[in-house]
Each structure stands twice: as C-alpha cells, then as structure tokens.
Amino acid sequence: MNHTPRNIGVSRHIGTYSDAVEVTRSPRWLYTAGTPGMHPDGHLPEGIEAQSRQAWDNVKAVLAKAGMGLEDIVKVNTTLTRADAIPAYAKVRAETMGELRPAFMLQIVEQLIKPELLVEIEVVAANA
C-alpha cells in the first residue's frame, strides 16, 4: 500500500470511508470507467445486490489485470439509480472492502446509460 487514508473530517460521523487519501510514493495510476454490474458475457443479474456484487467483481478483475488489488484503491465513485438501494449496496461494499477506507462518493441519478443498470462503480487506484 502506497497511500494513507485520512479520517480528518466528517467521514467518521457518516460512514466507512476516508475524507482524503494521501499517495505517499510515486505510483502507477489506474482509472476505471463506470463499471456496471453486468457479467462479461452481457448477462445482467436481477436486483441491486446481485448487480453490486457483479460490479465489484468486474472492478476486481480490472485491478487484477493491472497487477493491483482492492488495497490499491484510493477513490471510489458509485452511482445508483435509486436511493432505496443504498442499504443493499452498502452491505455489498462493506463485504467487499472490509477494513479498507478509500475516499468514497455516492450519488443517485435518474438513469444510467441503459435503463436496466442499477449501479456503476468507478475507481482510481495507485500502486508503486
């Protein structure tokens, strides 16, 4: 790990993320696009929990191809299409990330590029 999470602000009162993450060594950077919960073969699981799990699996696969892991994530941007999906998504995120605390942003939008998509996850990762 070449970055240090900083819980210096409001995050400790809101959720399991860091307000800021300081990258402490010269890294390789990986930026992902919004990654939906769609299987590589194009199959889309039903429901927010299944799509969230698949989206995180897709992110992990991209990280692995770059020789990185979840511990290299410094920033996560999540987009959901329904506010009532937050608890189910948060459960999957907690199971996936464990004690890791990257900076985190969640937003609710009316619709993603395809109406049947319920979640997209975008990450920035750094690895020396």
One digit per residue, the tens of pLDDT, for the chain of length 128 reads 556 555 556 555 556 666 666 677 777 899 999 999 999 999 999 999 999 999 999 999 999 999 999 999 999 999 999 999 999 999 999 999 999 999 999 999 999 999 999 999 999 999 87
Decide: 93 and 53 in contact? Cβ < 8 Å: no
The CATH number of the domain holding residue 121 is 3.30.1330.40
Parent domain of 94: 3-127
**Structural domain count of the chain:** 1
List 41's β-bridge partners, or say none.
Answer: none
Name the phi and psi angles at 44, rounded to 5: -110, 115
Amino acid 64 reads A
Q: How many degrees, rounded to 5, is the angle at CA 24 between CA 22 and CA 25?
A: 140
Give me 18's structure tokens.
Answer: 């860091």
| CA–CA gap between residue 42 and residue 103 (Å, rounded) | 30
Residues 6 or more apart from 39 whose CB is under 8 A from it? 45, 54
Q: How far is CA 7 from CA 36, 43, 84, 102, in A?
A: 28, 38, 27, 10
